[in-house]
Amino acid sequence: MILAMRGKGSERFPAGRRIKGYRAFDPVMRGGRVNRSEWFTLHVLTTATPGRLGISLGRRYGSAVERNRIKRLIRETYRKNKDLFAGVDIVVHPRPPCRGQDHQAVARTLLSQARAVIAMEGCDEQGDNPPDQGRP
């Protein structure tokens, strides 16, 4: 009966949209743009794929219950806003201040920070010009 209730529609977070394993995390962590805030550290790398999410979270963050809760909130925010993350691989590293926050606060903070870093990723190294405009 429980299996009948599970849907395989667009509400799922498919394995193809996840960054898994060291070999997949390493290029994003080393080559991506980094943005640090009080709640999150984001690593963003532009790709030709639809975009993937990785979550880096160690035991120092808190108990397993706290770690799993924040991972669920981040995945849910990503899944509901997947159009924003199209074409980028993003690794989210939550920091202790986001512990115990409600879903709306986590989502609002993560989305505003992600929008800023994704917009910066479209610029050249100095952050001056988008790549399609060129220099005079």
Question: What are the structural domain ranges in the chain?
Answer: 41-52+82-121
pLDDT-wise least confident of 9-13, 67-71, 132-136: 132-136
**Mean pLDDT of the 13-23 span:** 84
pTM comes to 0.78
Report in angstroms the alpha-carbon separations of 3 from 7, 8, 13, 72, 76: 8, 11, 17, 21, 21
108: pLDDT strictly greater than 50: yes
Q: Confidence band (pLDDT; 50, 70, 90) for 9?
A: low
43: pLDDT strictly greater than 70: yes
- C-alpha atoms less than 13 angstroms from C-alpha of 34 in its C-beta half-sphere: 7
